Chain A
Amino acid sequence: MISFRQIFKRSQIHDDLAEEIQQHLAEEIESLVAGGMNRRDAEFAARRRFGNTTLIEEQGSEAWRMPNIEGWLSDLRFALRRLKASPGFTLTAVTTLALGIGANVVVFSVLNGLILRPLGVPDAKNLYQISHGKNGGDAQAYPDYRDFRDRDPSFSGIMAYKILTAGMSIDNATVRSWGFAATGNYFDVLGVQPALGRFFHASDEHGLGSAPYVVLSDDFWRRQFGARSDVLGKAVKLNGHPFTVIGVAQRGFRGTDVFFWPDYWMPVVNAEQVTGWSDFCCRDHIEFMVMGRLKPGIAPQRATESLNALAAQMAREDKKDDGLTLRVREPGPAGNENDPVKKGLLLIMLLAGLVLLAACANLASIFAARAADRAGELAVRMAIGASRWIVLRQLLTEAVLVSLMGGLLGSIFARQLLQSLSSWQPFGDFPTRLLVVPDASVYVVAIGLSLASGILFGLLPARQVWRTDVVQAIKTGYVWMESFRRFAMRDVLLAIQIVVCTLLVTASAVAIRGMERAMHVALGFNPQGVTVAQADLNMAGYTSDSALPAQKRILEQAQAMPGVTVATISDDMPFSGGGGQWFVYRWGTTDFVPAHMSFAAATFQVAPGYLHTVQTPLLAGRDFTWHDDKNAPNVAIVNQTFARMLYGDSTPIGQKFALWATAKYQIVGEVEDGRYHAVGEKPQPMMMMPLAQGIGGYMSTAATVLVRSKLPQDQVASALHRMLSHELPGTPFMVRSWSDSVDLSLIPMRAITVVLGVMGLLAAVLAMTGIFGMASYSVAKRMKEQGIRIALGAKRPQVMLAVLGRPFLLLICGSMLGLGAGLLTSRVVAHLGSLATPSDPLVMFSVCLAMILIGVVATWIPARRMLAIDPAQLLREA
């Protein structure tokens, strides 16, 4: 019935009514004049009869009034006027909330993008991953997958895929590309449809090499094929083998991995062609992600049980499956309770929530103080009949207005940040994405947070309004505050801020200390000044048997490059982002099944001189020579952890171990421990084999050229580029500085450090302003009282204690509590790969120092004011 338009039509209504009344009077006058009265008398008579025209106009307009909406609108106008009148306060409050809410929006959006949001497939809730039980990983062997698919009754369909990398030749150019080698039923199990052409199906698989098809991702299709629709039927080459493009996936379909978005999908029966690596032979080649859809009515728990029953049966049939345990879980970090990304994000979400809580506590005390300043005015309003609810509504309107402005500003900043984060590709052309652009649920959370925080800090001061004694409040000089003796709401609010602040300062101190340690950790090699080029000779048409001469030739070319001090070649290097592991068995093992292995060791195949080039000290024994080749006995160099795990304290030189029945090794050298994948990792066993010997006869086609030079990095990089373009024409390769690769592995820790640092700083500023506010308020209100005490002979320290004792007591108690909570939180931070622990004395010391500094800085000005009291003048003023 009532439209908002009517509110704004008010003046129109009023004008109409006024004119109508004038016309009415004129008509009356005319009729009186026509009846014989003179005009002057007629005018008076008409007016007398009509009555008070202004009052009638008012009463007429009143019919249109909407008390609730209009009351609220006038509250809004009043709130805006008040905020405009104190721009400093408004700016501070809005900025505080923008930071608090913005931080929460960013963290929630990342959490939402990586964990809460399901994969972009239909009915994603019913898609489950089959992982290893206990602390095992996710990767499965293909023959095991086949058993799950054919023999397990709980799934309606199970598919598998693995990530592969290959050089894709399109027309005459070759690019590095990453794709999924997927089982034929991959798309059908997921239930997705192509945007163009068709997908491959189980019916396309007729044995090894029978389905040379690729399906392109939408992104890759746009990037490499210019989004041309005549791409269907086009021939491309993967590592030199011809494939036909049969389809393009829909834009929203990005595969089944949260971080890795494949460039294309190809049938797994053709993967061996491309990688030269057999997937189907062995139950210990574990490379496949396995996902399936449960039959209706079957719970994941039941599926886990039935899979484990199957696994036990499989173990009886094939010893390699001995000890195989499985579990069914949600795919991605969401389903993995130990996932570090998930743990870290949940922790940061919690801390971000605490920052917002501290911000609300801070604003609540400012709002309470502002409401206290208006005590007289509000009391008068209540005395002349405003209900408490009306007064409260006005206070709440102001608070919610501020919080919505803060939320809006915070969301805008958050969106900017998240957009740049989403388009960020940290690993060069490796298709990793963080899909964290906010969606509807993020905005709902942002609005919810803004409203909730507005109501939270608006309602706390409302307690005062509720308890106001109107008669007392109208009197001048009334102090609208609870007694200074008792602990009041303000103290609790301040304590919350201090606790949160200490907690965050502790957490960020731990993170910063960990980062600082990470910078100086012994890597076991020296990446400074080393430039790396990585290529796979497979992409240039070399095979396992023909790669070695090319690798040697490339090494010679690299060594001959001007300005190069030393150079070496290997299959891979630490911190490359990849890296293989092999199961190690004790000498004398006869059954080479995973249940009997000692451990899995990081493995590198290196050329002679590798140790010298990367500057890894040889502790005992000898380096490899080119004579350690296929015709010589198998030899290996191991690190200290490897040696200790297999042989205890005795020297490893001359000891033996095995990888499988025909791959047995004698150790000829021992090197220092190092880091291989992450700076924060625990010591790991590592072994090196001669590049010329391969592993159990298997020769790597990978070529990682490491060049140490004193020339600037870009010069070395372009020289390497020229050399490889000449040696391996048309083959994609990647050149980068080794230090950059190491830095890349620090990104998660850097991110955590920056996030905790920013939040810690924010909390510190909040605590500081909170303490400052309380101290200055306390000084201002008790100035006169203390002036009298001084006049009566009190010493200044006594006065100081009386006034500033409370804030300092709160600071000390709050800090202790916060430090305790911080120690607990930091345990989680330490788990996330940080090298520092909260019990680090330097951390404790710096946190205490920070809190003392915050206290001193915040009370400095109020204390100075207190000390400068001149009792004579103060008493005169009163």
Chain B
Amino acid sequence: MKQPMVNSRNTEQRDLFRGALEMMVLQSLHRQPMHGYALVQHIRQRSNDLLQVEEGSLYPALQRMLRARLLTAKWTMSPTNRRVRTYQITAAGTRHLEQEMSSFEQMMKGIYLVLSPAEG
């Protein structure tokens, strides 16, 4: 299984931990259904251009989540009158997102405690 990878623009490539891309995709789709290109743009804008999702990671990740029934996909027409495949999060996907978010928060808290300067 390949690790999802995210490029941070203008800096060196850095591997994100497993599941970060999925979490961001699920969270983005949780706000509103989107197609692939829109997802890339959305994540870039939200991260203030810090994160650039690599298409080579995004599409396989979307397929994996489709298979795991975290998402559904259907062909629709975009506002710019283009045929696009729009992804929508399922109930299972929402549950999955919540679980991942809470364990992610736990982990961040832990990492933060370890990295913060020792007190006293």
B63 touches A51 (CB 8 A): no
How many chain B residues touch A (CB < 8 A): the figure is 22
B64 touches A56 (CB 8 A): no
B63 touches A61 (CB 8 A): yes
Report whether over half of chain A's contact residues are helix, strand or loop; otherwise say mixed: helix
Cα distance, A26 to B67, chains bound together (Å): 26
A21 proximity list for chain B (CB < 8 A) = 55, 59
Contact of B37 among A28, A59, A62 (CB under 8 A): A28
Interface status of B95 (Cβ within 8 A of chain A) = no
Closest CB in chain B relative to A19 CB, distance in Å: 8
Interface status of A63 (Cβ within 8 A of chain B) = yes
Cα distance, A103 to B90, chains bound together (Å): 57
Contact of B55 among A13, A56, A62, A63 (CB under 8 A): A56
One digit per residue, 1 when the CB lies within 8 angstroms of any chain A CB and 0 when it does not, for chain B 46-74 equals: 00000000111001101110111100010
A51 proximity list for chain B (CB < 8 A) = 54-56
Closest CB in chain A relative to B2 CB, distance in Å: 7
A23 touches B82 (CB 8 A): yes
Cα distance, A222 to B109, chains bound together (Å): 86
Query: If the complex has contacts A1-B69, A61-B63, A64-B63, are A55 and B37 also in contact, measured as CB distance less than 8 A?
Result: no
Cα distance, A60 to B58, chains bound together (Å): 9
Closest CB in chain A relative to B25 CB, distance in Å: 14
A16 proximity list for chain B (CB < 8 A) = 73, 85
One digit per residue, 1 when the CB lies within 8 angstroms of any chain A CB and 0 when it does not, for chain B 67-110 equals: 11100010000001011110000000000000000000000000
Cα distance, A63 to B59, chains bound together (Å): 10
A55 proximity list for chain B (CB < 8 A) = 56
Contact of B2 among A26, A49, A59, A61 (CB under 8 A): A59
> Most chain-B CB neighbours within 10 Å: which of A23, A51, A64?
A23
One digit per residue, 1 when the CB lies within 8 angstroms of any chain B CB and 0 when it does not, for chain A 545-558 equals: 00000000000000
Closest CB in chain B relative to A65 CB, distance in Å: 10
Cα distance, A717 to B37, chains bound together (Å): 97
Cα distance, A51 to B35, chains bound together (Å): 19
B55 proximity list for chain A (CB < 8 A) = 21, 24, 49-51, 56
Query: If the complex has contacts A51-B54, A52-B56, A55-B56, are A27 and B63 also in contact, measured as CB distance less than 8 A?
Result: no
B83 proximity list for chain A (CB < 8 A) = 19, 23
One digit per residue, 1 when the CB lies within 8 angstroms of any chain B CB and 0 when it does not, for chain A 42-70 equals: 00000001111001100111111000000
Cα distance, A470 to B64, chains bound together (Å): 37
CB within 8 Å of B: which of A131-178?
Answer: none
Interface status of A272 (Cβ within 8 A of chain B) = no
Interface status of A339 (Cβ within 8 A of chain B) = no
Tally of A-B residue pairs with Cβ under 8 A? 61
B64 proximity list for chain A (CB < 8 A) = 63
Interface status of B36 (Cβ within 8 A of chain A) = yes
Closest CB in chain A relative to B79 CB, distance in Å: 12
How many chain A residues touch B (CB < 8 A): the figure is 25
B59 touches A17 (CB 8 A): yes
B66 proximity list for chain A (CB < 8 A) = 63
Quick one: closest B residue to A59, CB to CB? Answer: B60
Contact of B60 among A13, A49, A60 (CB under 8 A): A60
B54 proximity list for chain A (CB < 8 A) = 51
CB within 8 Å of B: which of A798-831?
Answer: none
Cα distance, A17 to B67, chains bound together (Å): 13
Interface status of A591 (Cβ within 8 A of chain B) = no
B84 touches A63 (CB 8 A): no
Cα distance, A443 to B27, chains bound together (Å): 55
Closest CB in chain B relative to A33 CB, distance in Å: 13
Cα distance, A20 to B40, chains bound together (Å): 14
Query: If the complex has contacts A21-B59, A23-B82, are A64 and B37 also in contact, measured as CB distance less than 8 A?
Result: no
One digit per residue, 1 when the CB lies within 8 angstroms of any chain B CB and 0 when it does not, for chain A 210-253 equals: 00000000000000000000000000000000000000000000
CB within 8 Å of B: which of A432-468?
Answer: none
Quick one: closest B residue to A61, CB to CB? Answer: B63
Cα distance, A362 to B68, chains bound together (Å): 48
B60 proximity list for chain A (CB < 8 A) = 56, 59-60, 62-63
Query: If the complex has contacts A63-B63, A64-B67, are A24 and B36 also in contact, measured as CB distance less than 8 A?
Result: yes
Contact of A63 among B36, B56, B67, B73 (CB under 8 A): B67
Cα distance, A465 to B67, chains bound together (Å): 37
Quick one: closest B residue to A2, CB to CB? Answer: B67
A56 proximity list for chain B (CB < 8 A) = 55-56, 59-60
B37 proximity list for chain A (CB < 8 A) = 23-24, 27-28
Contact of A27 among B56, B73, B82 (CB under 8 A): B82
Closest CB in chain A relative to B107 CB, distance in Å: 25
B73 proximity list for chain A (CB < 8 A) = 16
Give 28 CB contacts A-B under 8 Å. A6-B67, A13-B63, A16-B73, A17-B63, A20-B36, A21-B55, A21-B59, A23-B35, A23-B84, A24-B37, A27-B80, A27-B82, A27-B84, A28-B37, A50-B55, A51-B54, A51-B55, A51-B56, A56-B55, A56-B60, A59-B56, A59-B60, A60-B59, A60-B60, A60-B62, A60-B63, A63-B66, A64-B67
Point out residues on A near B: beta carbons under 8 Å. Answer: 1, 6, 13, 16-17, 19-21, 23-24, 26-28, 49-52, 55-56, 59-64
Q: Identify 18 new A-B residue pairs, CB closer than 8 A, beyond the known A27-B84, A61-B63, A63-B67.
A: A13-B63, A16-B73, A17-B59, A19-B85, A21-B55, A23-B35, A23-B37, A23-B82, A23-B83, A23-B84, A49-B55, A51-B55, A51-B56, A55-B56, A56-B56, A59-B2, A60-B63, A62-B60
Task: Report, nearest first, the 9 A-B pairs whose CB atoms are least far apart.
Answer: A63-B63, A59-B60, A60-B63, A63-B64, A27-B37, A51-B56, A20-B85, A24-B37, A50-B55
